Amino acid sequence: MARLSKNDISRFSISFEEVNKLNISKDDLKGITEIIPNKKYRIVVSNGMKRDGSRDRISETIEGSLLDAVERKKQIKKDLDQNVITADARSKFEDFSKLYISYLEEKVKNNQLSATTYQNYYSILEKRILPYFKNMVVLDINERDIEHWIAVLGKTKTNTSDREFLHPTTIAHAYKVLYNMFNFAKLERILRENPCEFVHKKPTEAPDEKEYFTLEEMDYIKELLTTANIRLKSAIYLTMDTGCRREEICGLKWEDLDFENNTIDINKAVVSNYVKTNLDIPRVREKDVKTKNSKRKIGVPKVTMDILKQYKTFKSDMGIRVKEQDYVFTNWDSNKVLDPNRLTSEWANFRRDHGITKKVPIHGLRHSNATFLLSTGMPDKDVAKRLGHTPEVLGRIYTHSNMEDDKKLLNVLEEKFYGDKNKFKLESICSIIAGNVNNEYETENYKLLDYLTRERVMKEDVDSYLEPCKKYLLSQFPVLEIFTYNDVTNDSKKFNEKVNDFKNFMGDKTEINPPDDIKKIERIDI
């Protein structure tokens, strides 16, 4: 201990003799500054270095004597020493995990890590990693231990009825956390190598074929929603029509809704988490949207905006004062934001109550919206922008949702390679009814005649088959009788105009049932 000199106390209003009587040393005075003589002092205690390289200091102001300041400084240092978490290569993994969690908590406090990511890591560590590794010595853990742990996870049953064992993606996420922990051990010079790097078969994510609703099924759900409560109806309509994430729907405030232009502004999210950690993080809280691409303004169908207006009126009628800064989706009796998990459970109950067996969770409505948009032929970049994705992410996530496009391709293949034997262009059907076979649709017209007569109809014989084929087609499509009128039959321009009119509700190609009795279309000798 360095000896105290008169020069050391020159900045304090106390004599050298008094300091010696109080047994105050030179080290005791370090970090103490007198603010008001013999009355107020500032204390600064070093807590080492932060992980970003800056100094970590604890400062505090105290009223009292110099001796009081010295005693308070000693207490601060004692508290810091007791709270220091250390670990080395010979530590048990459980002790090392506490050091890692402390590191994550510091990153959260410095805004270098989101609270959601921290909670996910904390939960995975508690549920998937510590039960296996906690009593092992950090230095002794090798790739064989990790490979065995991966195998154990693969045989671990879940608590849900949907799947018997842990999903490969769950295992891959747990492996990622363990990998990051050992990388941290290298950073802290606890280990020279990361044993995860030597694992032969590393677990990988395996995305599920996510179920989604077709357009017809979404229309049916909207019919069922007419009897649902107005809050659920509004939220589900909005989700199906916009493809927004659950957290984005719950993060909407009335000021984000533009009823005049029928748009919504996605600029924040509300998340919910039941994981209990060392940090005091609210269970339901507002946060930034998932990525920078997630901030967007999108159009909403007027029908859905009208339902949201009804919901707003309902809240006012219930005696709740609704302000523009309030969240749209709240508890029934207040403007407190709705827990997103509550919305999830209400949707699950709705599916159960209406016998909807298709396993489409609330996030599946987003997939349903995306699948529908992609099936319409809308460019990927436009769909991605509306959903808050990049085109690259869109392609990776929705490769499983291409069944509608695949059906279209199949129709093309069948038509080009095998022919759609019982479907013919409306122009050909109308041409035969009009008695005008040798027109611009001649090739298709003769194919239809061959199909109906089960013979190869030649041009010199066409008149013999035309009348019975015409009568048969009129029996199948009475509405096309207009094509027997002379003003249509004899005017190609009017003929094509009428065909285009009928296409609006009959389609470009129409299915024709073959005659069940060949005698219905026998050749007429003329």
Task: Tell me which amino acid residue 506 is.
Answer: M
Residue 175: what pLDDT?
97
| Residue pointed to by tokens 């009428």 | 498
Neighbouring C-alpha atoms within 13 Å toward the C-beta of 137: 5
What are the pLDDT digits (tens) for 285-340?
A: 888 887 788 899 989 999 999 999 999 999 999 999 999 999 999 999 889 999 99
Residue 413: what pLDDT?
43
Q: Is the pLDDT of residue 57 over 80?
A: no
Per-domain boundaries in the chain: 6-83, 93-198, 225-400, 420-521
- Rounded Cα–Cα distance for residues 130 and 144 (Å): 17
Residue 414: what pLDDT?
47
What are the pLDDT digits (tens) for 269-294?
A: 999 877 778 777 888 888 888 778 88
The two three-digit tokens of residue 424, written as one number: 């013919």
Q: How far apart, in Å, are the Cα atoms of 86 and each of 45, 89, 103, 190? A: 20, 11, 11, 10
Q: What superfamily does domain 93-198 belong to in CATH?
A: Tyrosine recombinase, N-terminal domain (1.10.150.130)
Using alpha carbons, select from 444, 442, 462, 443 the residue that is nearest to residue 453. 462
Residue 83: what pLDDT?
61
Cβ proximity of 473 and 466 under 8 Å = no
3-state secondary structure of 278: coil
Q: Is the pLDDT of residue 412 over 70?
A: no
Region 177-191: mean pLDDT is 93
- Determine the straight-line distance between the first and last CA of the chain, rounded to whole angstroms: 131
Region 80-95: mean pLDDT is 79
Residue 396: what pLDDT?
63
What are the pLDDT digits (tens) for 16-28?
A: 888 888 888 888 8
Neighbours of 487 (CB within 10 A): 10
Q: What percent of the chain has pLDDT over 70?
A: 87
What are the pLDDT digits (tens) for 143-152?
A: 999 999 999 9
What are the pLDDT digits (tens) for 418-444?
A: 455 678 888 999 999 999 888 888 888
Question: Do the domains 93-198 and 225-400 sit in the same CATH topology, yes or no?
Answer: no
Q: What is the mean pLDDT of the chain?
A: 85
Using alpha carbons, select from 174, 136, 185, 123 the residue that is nearest to residue 152. 174
Q: How far apart, in Å, are the Cα atoms of 278 and each of 62, 79, 98, 105, 282? A: 29, 18, 10, 8, 12
Q: Is the pLDDT of residue 265 over 90?
A: yes
Using alpha carbons, select from 171, 101, 170 the residue that is nearest to residue 134. 101
Identify the band that residue 7 occupies on the pLDDT scale cut at 50, 70 and 90.
confident
Please give the backbone phi and psi of residue 456, each rounded to the nearest 5 degrees, phi first: -95, 105
- Rounded Cα–Cα distance for residues 333 and 336 (Å): 8
3-state secondary structure of 271: strand
- Its CATH class, for the domain covering 225-400, is mainly alpha
Q: What percent of the chain has pLDDT over 90?
A: 40
Residue 51: what pLDDT?
41
The two three-digit tokens of residue 313, written as one number: 């009126």
* Helix (H) or strand (E) run with residue 6 in it: none
Residue 371: what pLDDT?
84
